[in-house]
């Protein structure tokens, strides 16, 4: 049995955060992040976690540029979902090519749910010699199932413990480009 189309689930989906709220949250995060890196001699290595992190990472990068913070870009693609609505074993599809030894790394992702992916990616960056690894996420899911020791240094908004999509997050690989965060109907 195939999953309902995006159009079908949108009819009953709830808007959790609209575009204006998300844009304000990103601007606030940019202020805090810029203050953290303002005195560094070398730009931080800004690593987007694909695919979900791309829309948020782009908006945050522009906001940081508006504040005069230069960034060096790379990306990684690690996933536990592969188009499904529940996670499985982590699959690395692409690792950053930029050397991390001695670098300050800023990982940027769409959501901190349970933290399995972020924990693995953070450990990998540390194993590659990163001097400091920080995490910025657009959304943090509110529940009590987080992996011990995993948290975001910067988070834009909280979302309920429901299946959310939009602004990078997908519903069966659909809806990543929606300009708001939605939740499936209960």
The residues carrying an active-site annotation are: 113
User: Residue 109 forms beta bridges with which residues?
Assistant: 137
Q: Give the C-alpha separation, 38 to 54, whole Å.
A: 23
Q: Which two tokens stand for residue 146?
A: 């987080």
Q: Which sign does the torsion angle of CA 46, 50, 54, 60 carry?
A: negative
> Which residues does 102 contact at the CB level (< 8 Å), separation at least 6?
129, 130, 131
């Amino acid at each position: 049995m195939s999953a309902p189309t995006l159009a079908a689930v949108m009819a009953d989906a709830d808007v959790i955060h609209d575009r204006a709220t998300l844009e304000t949250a990103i601007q606030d995060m940019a202020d805090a992040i810029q203050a953290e890196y303002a005195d560094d001699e070398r730009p931080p290595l800004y690593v987007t976690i694909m695919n979900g992190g791309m829309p948020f990472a782009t908006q945050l990068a522009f906001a940081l540029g508006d504040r005069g913070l230069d960034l060096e870009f790379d990306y990684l693609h690690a996933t536990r979902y592969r188009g499904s609505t529940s996670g499985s074993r982590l699959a690395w599809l692409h690792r950053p090519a930029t050397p991390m030894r001695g670098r300050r790394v800023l990982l940027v992702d769409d959501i901190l749910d349970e933290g399995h992916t972020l924990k693995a990616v953070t450990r990998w960056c540390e194993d590659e010699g990163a001097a400091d690894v920080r995490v910025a996420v657009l959304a943090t899911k509110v529940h009590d199932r987080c992996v011990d020791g995993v948290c975001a240094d910067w988070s834009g908004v909280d979302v309920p413990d429901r299946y959310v999509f939009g602004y990078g997050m997908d519903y069966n690989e659909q809806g990543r480009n929606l300009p708001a965060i939605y939740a499936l109907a209960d």
